Structure 1
Amino acid sequence: MEKRLLFDRLEEFGDQSAIIWKNRDYSYHRLLSGISEWTEVLKQVEVAAGECVAICGDFSPNATMLMLALMKNGNIIVPLTPSMASKKEKCLKTACVKSLFEFDDSDTYRFKLLHNTDDHSLLQALRKTGDPGLIIFSSGSTGEMKAALHNLQKLLSKYQRKRRSFKTLAFLLFDHIGGINTLLYSLFNGGTLVIMTGSDRTVELICETIEQYRVNLLPTTPTFIKMLAISEMHKQYDLSSLQLITYGTEPMHPATLEFVTRIFPQVRFKQTYGLTETGILPTKSMASESLGIKMGCEDCDIKVERGVLHVRSDTVMMGYLNASAPIDKDGWYNTGDIVEPMGDGYFRILGRESEIINVAGEKVFPAEIENVILKMNNIKDVTVQGLPNPVTGNVVVATVELEEPEDADQLERRVRDFCEQRLPPFMIPAVVEISSRRLYGERFKKTRRS
């Protein structure tokens, strides 16, 4: 039903602009004709329904049309990006991939048939339904990358009801559940997806793209929002077309949110929530300037146990292909996110359970300390982590990126003095380090040492 609905919608939107790539417009009719062409290619290279097929590239027109053709053909899709090159072979083996399509910067593809004889019981179970599938790899930032298998038909079900269409920047990447969500939302609602090319996604280039194409929806990360505010690029580029900025993937610092709602008064800020394992869940923000979030609907249940958020929904993955999944017998998925109730069904996400620092029995959330340090002068960015200590279990370490050079000893005294006036003793950084590198990765998400 949902798969048919998507292709009916593509037909309905006709000559409207679906994708802008390298200054070229691709209409919905062009997408449909491209899907038909790719369906013929799949027949020629003998890709059978139910097979795992990897696409290595980005949201280029051909990669997008191939993804939709594979969906129509009932395949299990494995999106990968060039940045995963060092892990690609392992990912292909883990996902039991039989065929690989690799796209270059000109959107030309190379096909490779893989002699992978591995299979998995979860893949077999999905094939029995006849539904298309999706395998997304977790970032692996705190350990081994995990391969999450989704029933794609169930992920598509959330887009049945028509919603508002936007001209959206494809900020989140091709291999990210948020990037897939961006694509599907846009296609189901007749929107236009503006695709950036190249791997160098700087704040300036993103602002330039927003100005050039009059983008009105930016799905992004708290780290990017912070870097946008610090760079003051909003003063150099016309970003007045922006109507909605959605953010997720990591906790937002209150100081950052307070600042950007002042400099973008015309923009509504909405916090989203989703994981590789759950898909993107329906949410409601308490207000643009609030970190309060409410989630859940008739198809999505939530509960909080011992401060940890649990989710039960049809969009939760079937399981991992290379690890055991934290899903109980009743279908509840343990997200590992610590939340704080705010009343009336709203709560605030404090951070990952795995990132809590235990200092002499006290729980320390890195984001709380980071939010304080970010209010200091000459601090461009900060990451807080724990360092093992034989007496207290751990001590707090703050790694900072400076706007201007500063003596390390002076900085440490200044940070400690500032924090002592605003935080309890166990949260005061025992060590302050200066980093010469930026503290976030290519996806504009804060990087923490594992």
Structure 2
Amino acid sequence: MNSLERFLSDFGDYGDKTALIWNEQNYSYTWLLDRIKYWSNILADEGIEKSIVGFRGDYSPEIIALFFALIQLKNILVPLGGSNKEEQKRYFDIADVHYILSIADRERLVIEDLKTSVGNAVLTEFMQRQSPGIVLFSSGSTGTPKGMLHDCERLLSKYVRGKKALTTLAFLALDHIGGINTLLYQLSNGGTTVTNDDRRPETICRLIESYQIELLPVSPTFLNLLLMSEAYKEYDLSSLKIISYGTEVMPESTLLALANAFPGVRLKQTYGLSELGILSSKSESSDSKWVSLGGEDYQVKIVDNVLWIKTNSAMVGYLNAPSPFDDQGWMNTGDVVERKGDYVKILGRQSEIIVVGGLKVFPQEVEDVLVQMPEIEEVTVFGEPNVITGNVVVAVVKPLDRSIDERKMRKLIQSYCKQRLQSYKIPVKVYFNKSEHHNHRYKKIRSKVMQKL
């Protein structure tokens, strides 16, 4: 019995238990198992097997059933999530996508045949195994997105029943390793997952109240927007037991404000990479950014203050970049950390450090200060070359009040920072950008913010 067969056999045991809640309707494990069989038959009739298949759609029950059906027929999946058409075109080219699927009204499968031939060496070698795979893409937060090929057999083998599953809201989408981790963990343990394609703070709070959600896995960007909206004050969120956060560095001020707003909820930092999956983690406390990492299949080490990780469940490889693994299987994550016993604190990406006159500045520490200003909704900080100091700190601000006087706002920012930051960390330039600084995954995208200047 392969990993998928073992995984799906548990669905029969869970039977009429609610697997998914979507648009105020419950879907049982029996229903999900039947729909996987249905879509497997449809795909087989259309000859869509052992191919590279992109699919559009988020967490609807039909898309989830289609997800497993594609694996069952040994396809390589390319989930497209909420990416825009320009991004999707780049994904098609990188992953040699042959078919694009979507589900129209009345459960009609729409198939677009791109008639693509496979030219990528990594994909060609993997397809010779006749094993199912999945391609995920980096967010492109620092440049061109990387395509990462995972072996589905290896990925599914990590999820074994027997662990406790809380009623969970699926926030991170199926095109994100965190979203896949949430779904597979929940389904393997017979849990209930609430899915929705509207991720506004008000909607999330309403769902928590309506379905007594116990676990909320989200990003720091979303949590900051939640606090600013104050939507959590309008709903009964007493069912919440855990708020887990990852995908980017959590601002200290946001974490402390969150701990104050949700005193009875455990705040848990998670850590993972699309290349490696999600590690087991344990936060020192709800208001602490110190976290212990590792366990199960993961080994962790720190070299020159940079985190390295090794795991047997790592991706097969990049489709459009050199392998990031050394000859012993270790990967340099690029994350700079501090260490305290068994705990680490993640400071930021090594590649994003701004060197000003020989002194290092992490963008996140400046953002942490600026985001505390009530006039600012979102802020992105980066470095800009300077002939005297090498670099200067630059901030791009999305003001809460769109009609604010920009000149007055710049002076306010300078004054605020002078009281809280060393002089070389204070933004020399401040730009204003009224569009969102995050993508559909609610993750800050520095490269796109910089490109809009």
Shared fold (TM-score, shorter chain, > 0.5): yes
For residue 201 of structure 1, report the CA deviation from its aligned partner: 2.8
Mapped to 2, the partners of 1:92 and 1:327 lie a distance apart of 25
Query: How is 1:278-317 mapped onto 2 (pairs within 5 angstroms)?
Result: 278-317=276-315
Q: Which amino acid aligns with 2:11?
A: L
SS at match of 2:40: helix
For residue 172 of structure 1, report the CA deviation from its aligned partner: 0.8
Query: How is 1:40-439 mapped onto 2 (pairs within 5 angstroms)?
Result: 40-48=41-49, 50-104=50-104, 108-197=108-197, 200-341=198-339, 343-404=340-401, 406-439=404-437
Mapped to 2, the partners of 1:377 and 1:98 lie a distance apart of 48
1:298-336 per-position Cα deviation (integer Å, ceiling 9, x unaligned): 421112222221111122211111221221111111212
Q: Which moved more, 1:250-259 or 1:375-384?
A: 375-384
Mapped to 2, the partners of 1:139 and 1:127 lie a distance apart of 25
1:96-136 per-position Cα deviation (integer Å, ceiling 9, x unaligned): 22322123477543012331112433234434444321101
Mapped to 2, the partners of 1:258 and 1:392 lie a distance apart of 34
For residue 162 of structure 1, report the CA deviation from its aligned partner: 2.2
The 8 Å contact of residues 19 and 187 in structure 2, kept in 1 or not, is answered as: yes
The 8 Å contact of residues 406 and 432 in structure 2, kept in 1 or not, is answered as: yes
Give yes or no for the alignment of 1:4 onto 2:5: yes
SS at match of 1:159: coil
Q: Which moved more, 1:56-65 or 1:100-109?
A: 100-109
Mapped to 2, the partners of 1:143 and 1:105 lie a distance apart of 36
Q: Which moved more, 1:102-111 or 1:269-278?
A: 102-111
Mapped to 2, the partners of 1:401 and 1:114 lie a distance apart of 39
Q: Hey, what does 2:39 align to over in structure 1?
A: 38
The 8 Å contact of residues 93 and 118 in structure 1, kept in 2 or not, is answered as: no
Mapped to 2, the partners of 1:255 and 1:43 lie a distance apart of 52
Q: Which amino acid aligns with 1:210?
A: I
Mapped to 2, the partners of 1:88 and 1:373 lie a distance apart of 33
Q: Which moved more, 1:177-186 or 1:97-106?
A: 97-106
Q: Which amino acid aligns with 1:369?
A: V
Q: Which amino acid aligns with 2:384?
A: L
Mapped to 2, the partners of 1:367 and 1:90 lie a distance apart of 29
Mark the runs of 5 or more structure 2 residues left unpaired by the alignment.
Answer: none
For residue 291 of structure 1, report the CA deviation from its aligned partner: 0.6
1:29-51 per-position Cα deviation (integer Å, ceiling 9, x unaligned): 01111111112112201123x32
Mapped to 1, the partners of 2:235 and 2:368 lie a distance apart of 27
1:232-253 per-position Cα deviation (integer Å, ceiling 9, x unaligned): 1111122222111111111001
The 8 Å contact of residues 338 and 353 in structure 1, kept in 2 or not, is answered as: yes
Cα separation, partners in 2 of 1:235 and 1:157, compared to 1, 3 Å: same
For residue 18 of structure 1, report the CA deviation from its aligned partner: 0.8
1:235-287 per-position Cα deviation (integer Å, ceiling 9, x unaligned): 11222221111111110011111111111112111111112211112212111
| Superposition TM-score, scaled by structure 1 size | 0.93
Equivalences, count = 446
Q: Hey, what does 1:25 align to over in structure 2?
A: 26
The 8 Å contact of residues 139 and 445 in structure 2, kept in 1 or not, is answered as: no
Mapped to 1, the partners of 2:284 and 2:129 lie a distance apart of 39
Q: Which amino acid aligns with 2:207?
A: T
1:363-388 per-position Cα deviation (integer Å, ceiling 9, x unaligned): 11011112222333433332211122
Mark the runs of 5 or more structure 1 residues left unpaired by the alignment.
Answer: none
Mapped to 2, the partners of 1:419 and 1:201 lie a distance apart of 32
SS at match of 1:436: coil
Q: Which amino acid aligns with 2:37?
A: S
For residue 423 of structure 1, report the CA deviation from its aligned partner: 2.3
Percent of residue pairs bearing the same amino acid type: 43
Q: Which moved more, 1:371-380 or 1:183-192?
A: 371-380
For residue 357 of structure 1, report the CA deviation from its aligned partner: 0.9
Mapped to 2, the partners of 1:46 and 1:442 lie a distance apart of 32
Cα separation, partners in 2 of 1:67 and 1:406, compared to 1, 3 Å: closer
The 8 Å contact of residues 60 and 107 in structure 1, kept in 2 or not, is answered as: no
| Superposition TM-score, scaled by structure 2 size | 0.93
Q: Which moved more, 1:251-260 or 1:148-157?
A: 148-157
1:153-209 per-position Cα deviation (integer Å, ceiling 9, x unaligned): 222222225211122112111211111111111111111121113xx5321122222
For residue 420 of structure 1, report the CA deviation from its aligned partner: 2.6
Mapped to 2, the partners of 1:433 and 1:90 lie a distance apart of 29
SS at match of 2:158: helix
SS at match of 1:280: strand
For residue 212 of structure 1, report the CA deviation from its aligned partner: 2.0
Mapped to 2, the partners of 1:126 and 1:401 lie a distance apart of 44
Cα separation, partners in 2 of 1:228 and 1:91, compared to 1, 3 Å: same
